[in-house]
Structure formats: structure tokens, C-alpha cells
Amino acid sequence: MDKYVEIEYLDLDKKIDCEELINKVLEECFKIEGLDKSKIYISITLTNPVNIRKLNKEYRDIDKETDVLSFPMFEKEEIDGLKNIQYEEALGDIIISIDRVKQQAIEYGHSFERELAYMVVHGFYHLMGEDHINEDDKIRMRQKEENILNKLNIVRE
């Protein structure tokens, strides 16, 4: 599939130049996970702290801002079956707070691009059924995330 992502802006100025980065990161994610020949895509919404807080409250009953939310459309055990579907299907939705990405980039001492790329990869793996609730799952998910970022040479500075 030529297009891995649909990007929307919710109450943000579209001048944020990040679509190329998001596409590059997701292209690598899809390739590594064997979805690059599928008709799967992801919907990403870039927004502000107010909107992501509302969504976090509405869907997770957590009344606070966060950096990224992921809403998978499939269970983990269904993912392999999606590799050969014949019609376009959304793997899920990722919502990212751009203000939070900027803040965390400063806090962690790396670039906005590195933090945004991490949010995209992190959201992608949640859509793939990964989680970080227990330590073993967290280690496995972090290894997958870092593998993608290292392959793209998007490293901590």
C-alpha cells in the first residue's frame, strides 16, 4: 500500500512540518512487522492538551492530559490475519498532543523529531497489541520501539 497513514489536525495550525517524518516512521514500522504489502493504514490526529485531556477522560476515565492515546481496532491475535486482507482497513487511531511532544523533547534533552517519532512508534505498537503494564512486556515493547528508531537513525542526542 502506498499510504500508511491519514493525518488530521484538531485545533492545531497545519504549519507543523511533520508529515514526512510520520510517514517515514510508519513505513518502517509496517515493513518490520510485515504489514507493508497489506491494505492496513493508521489514522493519526495531532492535537493540543485540551483535546487530548477530553479524549482521555471520555475513553479512559482519566481526567488529565497525556502525550499519546492509541485506539486499536483489532485484538493482538487478529493482527496476523490482517496481512492479506483485500480491502483497506484501519489498524486503529493514534492521538498525539503536539504541545506535550515539544515539552518532553526539552525535558528529555532531545529533538522534537525524536520525541514525535517515538510517540508514533509507541502508538503503533499499542495498535499492534503491545503494552507496558508488566516489566517483561515493557522491555519487549521498548526493544521494538528502539529497533525502529535505530534503523531510521532517529537516536537520542
pLDDT the model gives residue 87: 83
Query: Comparing C-alpha atoms, which of 117, 24, 126 is closest to residue 79?
Result: 126
Number of domains in the chain: 1
Domain that holds residue 13: 5-151
Q: Which CATH number characterizes residue 35's domain?
A: 3.40.390.30
User: Could you tell me if residue 76 is inside a domain?
Assistant: yes
**pLDDT tens, residue by residue, 39-97:** 899 999 999 999 999 999 999 999 999 999 999 999 888 888 887 787 888 999 999 99
Residue 157 within a domain: no
Residue 40: strand pairing partners: 89
51: enclosing H helix or E strand: helix 49-60
3-state secondary structure at position 44:
strand
Predicted pLDDT of residue 2 = 55
What is the rounded CA–CA span in Å between residue 9 and residue 96? 10
In a domain, 133, yes or no: yes
Query: How confident is the model over 68-80, as pLDDT tens digits?
Result: 999 999 988 888 8
Coil, helix or strand for 83?
A: helix
The two beta strands, 5-9 and 40-47, are parallel
Residue 37 lies in a domain: yes
Determine, yes or no, domain membership for 96.
Answer: yes
Residue-level pLDDT at 1 = 46
pLDDT tens digits along 7-30: 999 998 766 788 999 999 999 999
At residue 142, φ and ψ (nearest 5 deg) are -60, -40
Residue 35: is it exposed, middle or buried by C-beta count within 10 angstroms (0-12/13-18/19+)? buried
